[in-house]
Amino acid sequence: MKRVYIKTYGCQMNERDSEAVAAMLRERGYEIAPSEAGADVVLLNTCSVRDLAERKAMGKMDVLAYRKQRKPELVLGYMGCMAQSRGASLAEKQSAVNLVVGTQRFHRVPEYLDRIFAGHDGAIVDVVEEQGSESTIKDHLLGTNGDRPVVGFVSVMQGCEMYCSFCIVPYTRGAERSRPMAEIVEEVRRLVDHGVKEVTLLGQIITNYGRKDMRKRNGNSAFVQLLEAVNEVKGLERIRFTAPHPKGFGDDLVQAYVDLPKLCEHAHLPVQSGSNRILKAMNRGYTREWYLRIVDKLRTAQPKIGISTDIIAGFPGETEQDHEETASLMRDVQFDQAYIFKYSKRHDTPAADMADQVSEREKERRNQALLEILNSGMARANQKLVGQTVEILVEGRSEKVGRRMFGRTRTNRLVFFDGSERHKGELLPVRIERASTIALYGDPAIHNL
């Protein structure tokens, strides 16, 4: 039995794609290896959102190619976004590469590995578009008994048509394509039947789900209709979704946070910048004032909602005043979490050719300044929870934090506690004893009764 190891770079959608490929390979008779040691195949599922992710993947492939000199039968491949954007050039530049598979052809990987092991000569490169590929990411590694996951991820659509000036995703993931709602709900039901208690719905711009194919019903968008349908799945405890666009937070979605008991009180609301001038250059389609109104509506609907965001530091043309406007927005909103990145030039995007590119040194300074604001706010917010009891869904045991059990609150705060494996999958009250910037530490309240 051939052993395959998949290393994933990038977002939750990439993680989900890797899981689906692994499940398909296992069904085909391959063994999924826990590490590259002893693997017969190593596949790198790549990301193109930032230059660093691409450089890491290519550097890793160089290391693997060196290893292949001692083990010529080792099969190496690229999958995903960088494979889609660079195509055959990856195999041309790195002759050790056997396989390059784009974002709409993941389901072909088992077939292509079969061909390679049957003696196919030369690299296989497949980055063509395929109608219906959005419905091929449906397989899961569900495990057995104690290995069964508590949290599941469901891809509901592929592609993006927002064309933010800094982003390469529309070029690597293609046009928007949504899966049928009934198909998604059935996948959620199957996950629940295998012990999953929480699902995260995934899409490049998930709030655009079904906008080409479905009409509004009772004033609700197709995406809100999907949330309503998933909310009805018996045995499911929690629903999350990512990644949305702020423009998708209409009144119907805000109201869903009130009406749907399984929808967690957490909203990922990518702002990218607090400057109207930079938002326009980014082609984001909203203003700072509009964004703040959405935040206000969400907090009016759910006062304790957790709000996270994405921010880019040092976008081309960003002045010190623009940077300060982003900093002030962060102070005003008090985000519960944020992913702050230095602007990374992406080939074939409008921003890559913009004038007044910010120096790396200045991008780093601004990035650090925004991180300081974020960390200070997160530490204060977490400290306020010390002494309170919160409900978490226990996901399992951490391999990094003293092998403690861990889970998340409905507002997406990470909580660690000393407990037993029997708690996995339970909704558990935990009294918070101490807090750090990024996590909470507590004692199950049931022990104190």
* pLDDT at residue 146 in the model: 54
3-state SS assignment for residue 3: strand
Give the pLDDT confidence score for residue 403 in this predicted structure.
Answer: 84
Q: Give CA–CA dist 22/143, Å, rounded.
A: 12
Strands 41-46 and 31-32 turn out to be unpaired
Instruction: Specify the length of the chain in residues.
Output: 449
Structure tokens at 322: 């623009």
Residues in contact with 300: Cβ distance below 8 Å, sequence separation at least 6, in sequence order: none
Q: What is the pLDDT along the chain (449 residues), one digit of tens a residue?
A: 999 999 999 999 999 999 999 999 999 999 999 999 999 999 999 999 999 999 999 999 999 999 999 999 999 999 999 999 999 999 999 999 999 999 999 999 999 999 999 999 899 999 999 999 999 999 999 875 457 899 999 999 999 999 999 999 999 999 999 999 999 999 999 999 999 999 999 999 999 999 999 999 999 999 999 999 999 999 999 999 999 999 999 999 999 999 999 999 999 999 999 999 999 999 999 999 999 999 999 999 999 999 999 999 999 999 999 999 999 999 999 999 999 999 999 988 999 999 999 999 999 999 999 999 999 999 999 999 999 999 999 999 998 877 899 999 999 999 999 988 999 999 999 999 999 999 999 999 865 44
* CA distance to 148, 226, 234, per residue, from 185 (Å): 20, 8, 11
Which of 208, 235, 224, 153 is closest to 427 using CA atoms? 235
Q: What is the DSSP letter of 41?
A: E
Q: Give the distance, in angstroms, between the CA of residue 307 and the centroid of all CA atoms in the same chain.
A: 16
Cβ(148)–Cβ(194) under 8 Å? yes
Has this prediction a pTM greater than 0.85? yes
Decide if 279 contacts 288 (C-beta within 8 A).
Answer: yes
Find the helix or strand (DSSP H, E) in which 280 lies: helix 276-282
Nearest to 258 by CA among 218, 228, 214: 228
The pair phi, psi for residue 392, each rounded to 5°, is -125, 155
d(CA 20, CA 18): 5
**H or E segment at 277?**
helix 276-282
From the list 306, 198, 216, 289, the residue with the least C-alpha distance to 253 is: 216
Q: Please, which contacts does 285-294 make with residues 24 or more away whose CB atoms are closer than 8 Å?
A: 285/162, 285/245, 285/247, 286/246, 286/247, 288/325, 288/329, 290/246, 291/246, 291/329, 292/329, 292/332, 292/333, 294/246, 294/249, 294/254, 294/269
